[in-house]
Amino acid sequence: MKLIPKTAIIAMMALCSTYLAEAQKIKVTEGDFSALKGQTEINTEYSYDHIKVGNFDNEDDYIQKKKDEYNKKEPGKGDTWAIAWKNDRASRFEPKFEELFSETAGIKAGKFPNAKYTLIFKTTYVEPGYNIGISRKNAYIDGEIWIVETADHSKVVAKATVDNSPGRMFGFDFDTGARIADAYAAAGKSFGKKVKN
């Protein structure tokens, strides 16, 4: 059996990095982000209204289906899963987005009600993906980012769309929440770059 040359491995890793960068698109749809230059903090808010999940147009239908499936396999497991599905937003997804945005943009994101601007991340679509060892599908999210004045949310500074933000592309990503959290991290990093440039 031949060993793969080190240069081939490096080339494959570079190709994967390029794919990850190109897989996600952040497009400015209104205004620009120049107002954020010089800001040290930004307030964050999140919206999960009217989310589509996988092949489901309504998130509640997806949750009900998965909950029933898990409860049939093990009573109570589906109820626990449904609670975790919602709780992951505040405990995993939002912190990941804020962490990577803060690191990349150089603006600290979080609960800062006195900050001049507020970043609202509106999730519109979630592909949870799966990994059962012999087969897998990558997770990704779509959404909108609005920058508004904290004192008056009707004053919109800029808007952008987030398309195909990838989550947990490689490795032992058997946990749905971990894959989706990585999608939020990728969105935070990419948007941070957009703001910094």
> Exposed/middle/buried for 164, CB within 10 Å: 0-12, 13-18, 19+?
middle
CA distance 140 to 158: 23
**pLDDT tens for residues 49-85?**
999 999 999 999 999 999 999 999 999 999 999 999 9
Q: Domain segments of the chain: what residues?
A: 25-196
78, 69 Cβ separation under 8 angstroms: yes
CATH architecture of the domain with residue range 25-196? 3-Layer(aba) Sandwich (3.40)
> Exposed/middle/buried for 48, CB within 10 Å: 0-12, 13-18, 19+?
middle
- Regions of the chain where pLDDT drops below 50: 1-2, 7-22
